[in-house]
Structure 1
């Protein structure tokens, strides 16, 4: 019998090199039984080529002309900066008055992950700090810090703040200057190999409104990638639920849980799927919350400005509200949602040389949480999202990752040591688009290897098996993950 696998791989390579996205999608029906061959089309027909990749927020190749028009209009809204109100640019004014970025792409670098500075001489701009105090608040997921709320905003619309000059008494100031002091230590493998690890120590300087509550809980969160989110949204909840084992009934040490979160659109508790702690239910709420919290743009789901009752000067600032009382109306908000929904997923770069790495990945048990694939719902809102076998490598469940990664800050039902399994697709492409690799919720890991070595809790056994591997096998496992 003729082995068709090498020929098939050559077809994939030719498609990626010569015809790009369209040619890749023509091969969807040609996959044989090889797992690696199947995974090249990580997003099914919504997979885009990674040849000459310069950004992640690329459209699914099979969009119709109408869908493409909405996609690029939404991408423009996500990319263009908002400005302080009032201005003649009424469609894009209303920034702040307190904010972390002027646009969505200000944190999600070219649609990918954020990155963190190398030391405390540089301020943090593509990550933020979540705040809370002990207690329960069902609709917010945690009790806000009394003065600064649920998030530190590191920029403000005050004139002096915009000019980078010392503010006057009546000039609105950023809530804080956020820096990171990295703490380093060495990790030694059983074979004697040594790798340097780092963890962040927060340095919040120049707090604008006095001291924080003495019981404040902090969580540094970096911006995740924006690609493939429409495909993730199209996964059937029942398929995610089927992977949950909160009581570890099978006694394998893995007990993933579904977070239950408040939906601002449905006004009820629903399963969480997006965010580092699965604290957002769907794309609509995720986008609307980011506009409100990160850019200070009021919208139909989150109509309030990012000022607490204690921040009187913030409350006095002009806004860019329209006649309905929002700075971004429902139709423009939906354009950004549709942009995310129709963003494709990058093709995997897998070849035969990655077979050993995939075997090592499975032998370590990584696939127990990083579930390789799902088939999306047939009822998804677009044909390129429906019925697709996709390879995100996540179960989208909460897992206890142990004390080393714990922020001790609950978020709805997620405990202070639980995190949603991060998807692995596209993980090796970050440097391709011009950003340093920073992994895990707080960006501490500068490589896949470092990220694995921080795993604990439910993942402690997998980490120990990885550590016990030979150096060559560890490199093969890492190369496999980087090719996803």
Structure 2
């Protein structure tokens, strides 16, 4: 068997966006890329120096972390070679394709100001962030977020939150439900249709906190609206790549609850809990798990991001202080009806899941998977989930898939905390994000950023921001030798 020696090419990781030069960033050691050199000799033997000893037989198996690629997304698994996001899963039956196509039209359309010659896709705004769903969720995975010049790009939305009462803004404690800004509402919307003032301009800047640097967001409010409430905070929410949403939507509550351990009864330092919403449902979508279903998440995005009304959100996204917004012409009541919402959900439900990619030597992937488990990452990034029996959706019925999430809230420590919580989630609690498709995101856009506000420029940097329940995991990763670190990152990129 050929053996290969890794030659590490060091690439300095920095928080500055490309072309801006490196600023002093969070505590991320040099990231590196591997170039592999064939060092086998003619007779098939290999030099006896510079290689890791083969001890795989004595090491615990990691097959549960490296399932066959064709099992990644169950029946929705799609070949990952030369692949992009937002493609129809290959196994979707013919009878589903028409509804899928209808939903795709709504998802990819550039929405128009009402009235227009195409009433199916008019009703944009009056206030909005983007004109289409693909503006925030492109086929390349993730759009730009933090611009080199301080601009905030469409891939990052700003939530506007303030404490519900004095003393409830402690990010480390369970906060009372956050209030929206009384003038601009719950989300900053920098664009508007003609005749309606846009809400203003957002900028970001680096803020140092010890040896860490994170983005701070400032909003210059249009004079038509005055200023933000003095207690309002602008917090970033990066758009995720869309993978396997239909599968995650269908996981039974019982499966999510079985992994919850809010009181850390087993003493492992991990106390994941469900986000129980006001109506009793379990939240599972969004950085704070604020939405209980794919439909709810889609309707909220229509309302806040594009300004489209639906049966779920029949009112325009205007506050009482935004009179021009309230007076603007509507595209219908609602602008997307029940049939349209069903089609949009169907489209997202049957998007293909890219097969895990095994482009790196198996030995390296197994070593990376082993460190992933030994670091405790798999406790929250739960490899495997299943869907229940679903007679009405046989393709998605009783599917096993590998998203690497438990859909629970975890306290990630003060470094990652927002100043105010949302819903029942404190400022420092975040839903475990799925890891599948990360390598494809990086391949399609090497400048993609990570974590909830785009503060991490690399996967390694994202790991180094982990704290709270993940503090021990981060410290484990910090002790890894360069070869082992690269194997861990290679494993993450393979998912």
TM over 0.5: yes
- For structure 1, which runs of at least 5 residues remain unmatched after alignment? 1-31, 159-170, 188-196, 263-267
- The equivalent of 2:157 in structure 1 is 128
> Is it true that 1:346 corresponds to 2:354 in the alignment?
yes
Q: 1:284 to 1:37 in 2, by over 3 A?
A: closer
8 Å contact 2:197–2:222 — kept in the other structure?
A: no
Specify which of 66, 69, 75 is matched with residue 95 of structure 2.
66
Aligned residues: 421
Alpha carbons of structure 1 residues 215 and 371: separation in structure 2 relative to 1, 3 Å: same
**Where does residue 205 of structure 1 map in the other structure?**
220
Q: Aligned equivalents of 1:185 and 1:471: distance in 2?
A: 27
The reply to whether residue 93 of structure 1 matches residue 108 of structure 2 is: no
TM value normalised by structure 1: 0.83
Q: Distance in 2 between matches of 1:178 and 1:236?
A: 39
> How do residues 275-294 of structure 1 correspond to structure 2 at under 5 angstroms?
275-294=286-305
Asked if the contact 1:141–1:261 (Cα under 8 Å) also holds between the matched residues in 2, the reply is: no
- Displacement after TM superposition at 1:287 (Å): 0.7
Tell me whether 1:181 sits opposite 2:205 in the alignment: yes
The Cα shift of 1:393 comes to: 0.4
Match of 2:9 in 1: none
Normalised TM-score (structure 2)? 0.81
Residue 141 of structure 1: CA displacement? 4.8
- The Cα offsets for residues 102-132 of structure 1, whole Å up to 9 and x where unpaired, read as 1111111217233313323534212111112
Task: Name the structure 2 match of 1:427.
Answer: 438
Deviations 1:126-173, CA, capped at 9 Å, x for gaps? 211111221189xx9532111011000011112xxxxxxxxxxxx422
Question: Alpha carbons of 1:116 and 1:380: their partners in 2 closer, same or farther (altered >3 Å)?
Answer: farther
Q: Is the 8 A contact 1:399 1:418 kept in 2?
A: yes
Q: Does 1:51 align with 2:75?
A: no
Distance 1:456 1:40 in 2: 34
1:374/1:390 contact within 8 Å kept? yes
Match of 1:409 among 420, 442, 445: 420
Contact 2:75 2:91 in 1 (8 A): yes
Distance 2:477 2:346 in 1: 40
With over 3 angstroms needed to count, the CA separation of the structure-2 counterparts of 1:141 and 1:382, relative to structure 1, is farther
Query: Residue in 2 aligned with 1:113?
Result: 142
Distance (whole Å) between structure 2 residues aligned to residue 97 and residue 115 of structure 1 = 24
Alignment RMSD (CA, Å): 2.2
Task: Please say if residues 197 and 324 of structure 2, whose CA atoms lie closer than 8 Å, have aligned partners that are also in contact.
Answer: no
Match of 1:375 in 2: 386
- The answer for the alignment partner of 1:19 in structure 2 is none
Distance 1:215 1:456 in 2: 26
Instruction: Give the Cα–Cα distance (whole angstroms) in 1 for the partners of residues 100 and 116 of structure 2.
Output: 27
Runs (4+) of structure 1 exceeding 6 A deviation are 184-187
> What is aligned with 2:184?
148
C-alpha displacement at 1:217, in angstroms?
Answer: 2.8
Q: Is the 8 A contact 1:402 1:417 kept in 2?
A: yes
**Cα–Cα, structure 1 residues 117 and 412, in superposed 2: closer, same or farther, change >3 Å?**
closer
Residue in 2 aligned with 1:335? Answer: 343
Task: Provide the C-alpha distance between the structure 2 equivalents of 1:233 and 1:426, rounded to a whole number of angstroms.
Answer: 17
Shift in Å, 1:436: 2.5
Partner residue of 1:215 out of 213, 231, 235: 231
Distance 1:247 1:346 in 2: 36
Q: Are the aligned partners of 2:115 and 2:331 in contact in 1 as well (CA < 8 Å)?
A: yes
Match of 1:469 in 2: 480
Report the equivalent of 1:361: 372
**CA–CA separation in structure 1 for the residues paired with 2:452 and 2:110:** 25
Question: 1: CA distance between counterparts of 2:391 and 2:444?
Answer: 30
* Residue pair 2:161, 2:232 contacting (<8 A) in 1 also: yes
- Partners of 1:48 and 1:458 in 2: CA distance: 34
For each residue in 1:258-292, what CA deviation from the matched residue of structure 2 results, as whole angstroms up to 9, or x when unmatched?
A: 00124xxxxx3311011100000001111111101
Distance of aligned partners of 1:141 and 1:65 in 2 relative to their CA distance in 1, 3 Å threshold: farther
Deviation sequence 1:323-367 (CA, Å, 0-9, x none) = xx2111110111111101111211001351300000011111100
User: Which range moves more in the overlay, 433-442 or 247-256?
Assistant: 433-442
Q: How does 1:294-333 map to 2 (within 5 A)?
A: 294-321=305-332, 325-333=333-341
Describe the SS at the equivalent of 1:91. Answer: helix
Q: Secondary structure at the match of 1:404?
A: helix
Verify: 1:38 aligned to 2:68, yes or no: yes
